[in-house]
Amino acid sequence: MCGICGELRFDATSPDMAVVDRMSERLARRGPDHAGTFSDGPLAFGHRRLAIIDLSASADQPMVDPELKLALVFNGTIYNYRELRAELIAAGYTFFSEGDSEVILKAYHAWGEQCVQRFYGMFAFAIWDMRDAGDTSLFIARDRFGIKPLYLTQDDRRLRFASSLPALLASGGIDTRLDPVALHHHFTLHTVVPAPRTVLSGVRKLPPATTMTVDTDGRVSQSVYWTLDATRPAQALSEHEWLAQTREVLVRSLDRHRLAADVPVGVLLSGGLDSSLLVGLLADHVNDLLTFSIGFESVGAGTEKADEFEYSDLIAANFKTRHHKHLIPNSEVLARLPEAVAAMTEPMMSHDVIAFYLLSERVAPEVKVVLAGQGADEVFGGYFWYPLMDAETGPPVERFSRHYFDRDHAEYLEMIAPAWHVPDVTTELVARELAKPQADTFLDEVWRFDATTLIVDDPVKRVDNMPMAWGLEVRVPFLDHELVELAARMPPELKLKEGGKFPLKAISRGVIPDAVIDRPKGYFPVPALKHVSGPFLELMRGILQSDACISRGLYQRAYVDKLLADPEKYFTRIQGSKLWHLALLEWWLQIHVDGVVERTSAASEAHPG
C-alpha cells in the first residue's frame, strides 16, 4: 500500500516536477519506505512506498518496464498476484521482481483494459502506455469497492491525480469553491459524497469499479468493469447450502488477505462478531497472532459504554493472541483532534475516524498490515435500520430516508445559507440507485446501494485514510468481491434471521465463544463526540463562531445557535451529533482550504501538547 500521484499535460509542455514533488511530499506518511518519480514527455509520476510484498528495491516505484514500454504507479494489494504471475509466465512473460506491482504491468500488456477483471484485491493505479510513440496514453483504474482512493482534477491544460485530496490541493490552482450538490449529500448521508463528486468543485474521484483512459489531447473515456447482481440464483439454495458457501468463500478470502504479504499480519479486534470471527478462523494458521483493541473514556452516567474490552479480552484469551489493549482518555482525544482532522482526505464525522487514527498510531510500530471486520454489517444486514426500513410501506426512497437520512431536505434548507440551496438532490440520487435493475426486493436494492456506494465513502474511506496516516495497511476480507456477490444474492430473510447477520453468526458457532455471537451489537464509540459538553462543546463553539466560519457564510446562524444551545437535543437518525457534523466540516475547510494548520481554542489551550 502506498501513495501515488501524477500529472499529464495536454498543452504540449512538460509536467511541472515541482508540482509532482509537492503532491508526493503530502503523501509521505502513506509510504515511508521509498520515494520515487518518473517522467516521459507530457507525463510525470510520483510514488511513496509502504513495502509489504517483495521488500527489495526491485519492487520500488514508479516501476518501468522498458521492454514492454509501460510505467506504473500503484497503491494497494493484488491478493491473487501469485496465480496471475504463474499464468503470465506460462504465456512467455519474464519478471524482474517478486511482487504484485509488476504483475499489474504484465497483465495490462497481456489483457489490456480488461486486466482489472482478473484482479482480486484493493487497488488504484495508473499506467503510462508508451508502446506507440505517436499515441501515448494514461490508463487509470480503481478497485470494485473503492477501497483505495483516487482523486482527480482536470482542466483544458492538464490532468492531475493523487491518493489524497490534500495532496491535490498542494499542487496549486485548484478550484476550492464548495460544490452545492456535494454539500447536500454530505449533510444527508453521514458525510458520504458519492463519486465522482467531493465537497470541492475542483476535485473529483474516480468511481469504484471504473477505468479511465486519457490521451495527450485531453480526451477521456471511462468504463465500468463490474456491477453487483442482487437477484436470487436460478437454482434455489437451502439454508445449509448458503451457510456452507459463506464459510467456504470467507475462508478463501481470508487466506488471500493474509498470504499476500512478506511481513507479519495482525487483526484489529473490536470485540464484535466480525473481527472475532477473523481471529477465530486465523488462529490455527498464524503463530503468535497479534491483535489490537481500543477503548475510550465515558463522559458520564447514562451514556453508552465506551469500550468493548469485555469481549475483545475474551477472544484474545480464548485464542492466546499477543494482545494489545489501549484505553484513550478524553483529554487525549481533545488534544489530538486537530491532527486527525488534518489527516482527513475528506471531512468525515464518524466516531470511528478518531478511533482509527489513534489506534493506528499505536499499531503501526508493531505491524505494517492488519485485517479488520469493516463491511460485514453492510454486506450481511447487521444494522438496526434494515428491518425498520423493511417494515415500512411506500416508495423505496421514502422507506430508506425515514431511517437513514441525517436531516430531511426542509431542515437542510434551514441549516445551509441560501447561496448553496439546491433541490432535494440526495433523494433523487438514492431513488435512482435503488431503482437500478438486478435486485429482487427492496432490501436487495438497499444492500447493493450500501455495498457499491455508501460504504465506499464512509467505513471504507476511513479505514484507508486514518491508518495510512501512520503507514499502516488495513485489509477488509468481508469486502472480497466473491463474498459480496454471494451475500447479495441471499434471501433477505436469511440475513435478517436472529436479529441480523445470521449467516456470519451461524458459521461462527463452534469457532468463537457464544458470548460474543449473542452479545448486543456494539460499535466504535467515542462518547465525547456524541454527547457534546465541556471542553468539546467549547471547541465546537469556537469553530462555529470563528471569524472564518462567519465570513464563509455557509450556515444559517439561527440554526447554529439552536444546536449550540442544546447539543444533546439534536441527533441524526443513526445517533450522530448534528453539532459535531457542522463543526467538523468547517474545521476541515479551515485546515485544508484556508490553510490554518492548527486551531487555537479555549479547549486546546487547556490541554497543551
**Domain containing residue 165: CATH number:** 3.60.20.10
Mean pLDDT of 350-365: 91
Look at 525 and 466; give whichever has higher pLDDT. 466
User: Is residue 372 in a domain?
Assistant: no
> In this predicted structure, what is the pLDDT of residue 601?
36
Predicted confidence (pLDDT) at residue 78 exceeds the cutoff of 60:
yes
For residues 418 and 403, what is the distance between their CA atoms, to the nearest angstrom? Answer: 27
Which of 407, 387, 410 lies closest to 399 in space, CA to CA? 387
Q: d(Cα 142, Cα 160) in Å, to the nearest integer? A: 16
d(CA 450, CA 600): 38
Task: Give percent of the chain with pLDDT exceeding 70.
Answer: 95
Whether 569 has a pLDDT exceeding 50, the answer reads yes
Query: Greatest CA separation found in the chain?
Result: 70
The pLDDT value recorded for residue 532 is 86
Rounded to 5°, the CA angle 483-405-424 comes to 115
> Is the preceding omega at residue 503 within 30 degrees of 0, hence cis?
no
- Distance of alpha carbon 105 from alpha carbon 139, whole angstroms: 11
Q: Which residues contact 220 (CB under 8 A, 6 or more apart)?
A: 154, 212, 213, 214
Residue that wins the pLDDT comparison between 529 and 40: 40
The total number of structural domains in the chain stands at 2
Q: Is residue 339 part of a domain?
A: no
User: Which residues make beta-bridge pairs with 512?
Assistant: 509
**458 vs 204, residue with greater confidence:** 204
- Residue 53 domain-assigned (yes or no): yes
At 467 the pLDDT is: 95
170 phi, psi to nearest 5 deg: -65, -20
**Half-sphere exposure at residue 316, Cβ-oriented, CA atoms within 13 angstroms:** 20
Q: Residue 579 contacts by C-beta under 8 Å, 6 or more apart in sequence?
A: 532, 537, 540, 544, 563, 564, 567, 570
* DSSP character string of 171-191: HS-----B-HHHHHHHHHTTT
Q: What is the DSSP annotation of 344-365?
A: -SS----HHHHHHHHHHHHHTT
| CA 585 to chain centroid | 18
Query: What's the mean pLDDT when you consider all of the chain?
Result: 93
Alpha-carbon distance 507 to 509, whole Å? 6
Given 208, 224, 240, which residue is the final one in a domain?
224
Of 224, 248, 267, the residue that ends a domain is: 224
Structural domain contains residue 81: yes
- Residues 440/230, Cβ–Cβ less than 8 Å: yes
How many Å from the N-terminal Cα to the C-terminal Cα in the chain?
Answer: 31
Whole-prediction pTM: 0.95
- In a domain, residue 340? The reply is no
Q: What pLDDT shows up at residue 599?
A: 41
- pLDDT at 282 > cutoff 70: yes
196: preceding bond cis by omega (within 30 degrees):
yes
Residue 573 has pLDDT above 90, yes or no: no
Q: Predicted confidence band at 576 (pLDDT cuts at 50, 70, 90)?
A: confident
Lowest-confidence region among 444-448, 565-569, 589-593: 565-569
Burial class (CB in 10 A: 0-12, 13-18, 19+), 422: middle
- Per residue in 130-165, pLDDT (tens digit) is 998 889 999 999 999 999 999 999 999 999 999 999
pLDDT at 303: 59
Higher pLDDT, residue 1 or 384 = 384
Residue 117 has pLDDT above 70, yes or no: yes
Domain region containing 591? 532-606
Residue 146 DSSP code: -
Residue 356 pLDDT > 70: yes
DSSP string spanning 264-293? Answer: -EEEE--SSHHHHHHHHHHTTT-TT-EEEE
Q: Which residue has the cell 426500513?
A: 389
602 band by pLDDT with thresholds 50, 70 and 90: very low
Query: Looking at residue 608, what is its pLDDT?
Result: 28
- Alpha-carbon span 560 to 566, nearest angstrom: 10
Does 573 map to a domain?
Answer: yes
Q: In this structure, is the dihedral angle defined by the CA atoms of residues 572, 383, 165 and 219, taken in order, positive or negative?
A: negative
Can you tell me the mean pLDDT for 157-186? Answer: 97
Does a structural domain hold residue 230? no
In the predicted structure, residue 596 carries a pLDDT above the cut 70: no
In contact, 15 and 44? CB cutoff 8 Å: yes
| Domain limit, last residue, from 224, 257, 287 | 224
3-state secondary structure of 65: strand
Structure confidence by residue, pLDDT tens digits, 298-317: 766 555 666 789 999 999 99
Q: Is 536 helix (H, G, I), strand (E, B) or coil?
A: helix
DSSP run (H or E) holding 507: helix 502-508
Residue 488 resides in a domain: no
- Using the Cα atoms of residue 561, residue 590, residue 332 and residue 459 in order, give the sign of their dihedral: positive
Q: Which amino acid is at 387?
A: P
